[in-house]
A and B are shown apart, each in its own frame.
Chain A
């Protein structure tokens, strides 16, 4: 069994400040973990993926995430938020086969 918990349903930051979107997971297998972003009226876009290689994963648009097995966490960060980062972000776990389990999403708001 596998599950993922996104700890914040909404996050609001000012432009130019750091972003932290939190995600905890559980999995019976060695998991693959993903972050996807969904802009309004757009499809889901893969930001980054962890598959048991380096624990710090760099993704697109300046995002990165760190896999911490001891904390069962995979938090998404970005040093400086941009207005274009406003979107919904999904943490996803794949623990076996091709089945993905999605978190409930975090809506990121970026203010001037």
Chain B
């Protein structure tokens, strides 16, 4: 399985500031994703982080608000820019990992609990 380290685990930020969340995987993975889980709700895909090219954003999410970097096959960052209280959520990094048997599985980081005051 893939081991994902996500930092920070939680943060409290002021309105108007930005926070960068890091996701480190212990194996090279092709697909990395960023999800948001708003309070009391399910997970929503923000974007697919593409290595060496711009991220692919889902409807309702834009690069200016959620810039993503993917410099290599084991690391990605998500920045939440110009934060407002509505951005208070859990943000999760996810990777698709192929087992030796060819069975693809998704693994998730432990998440970043973000509170915006």
Of all chain A residues, which has the CB nearest B111?
Answer: A43
A: interface residue count bin:
10 to 19
B33 an interface residue at 8 Å Cβ cutoff?
Answer: yes
Out of A36, A42, A99, name the residue touching B110 (CB < 8 Å): A42
Q: Which residue of A lies closest to B31 (CB)?
A: A98
> A32 CB to closest chain B CB, in angstroms?
9
The reply to whether the CB of A2 lies closer than 8 angstroms to some CB of chain B is no
Q: Which residues of A contact B114 (CB under 8 A)?
A: none
Residue B53, interface by CB 8 Å: no
Please give the number of chain B residues whose Cβ is less than 8 angstroms from any Cβ of chain A in the complex: 22
Picked from B31, B42, B45, B48, the residue with its CB within 8 Å of the CB of A103 is B42
Chain B residues within CB distance 8 Å of chain A:
4, 6, 31, 33, 41-45, 48, 58, 92, 94, 96, 103, 105-111
Supplied contacts A98-B33, A99-B58, A102-B43, 15 more A-B pairs, CB within 8 Å: A34-B106, A43-B92, A43-B108, A44-B94, A46-B106, A46-B107, A49-B103, A51-B103, A90-B42, A98-B31, A98-B48, A99-B45, A100-B45, A102-B44, A105-B42
A-B contact pairs, 29 of them (CB 8 A): A36-B108, A41-B110, A42-B110, A43-B4, A43-B6, A43-B108, A43-B109, A43-B110, A43-B111, A44-B92, A44-B94, A45-B108, A46-B105, A46-B106, A46-B107, A49-B103, A51-B103, A90-B42, A90-B43, A98-B31, A98-B33, A98-B96, A99-B58, A100-B43, A100-B106, A102-B42, A103-B42, A104-B42, A105-B42
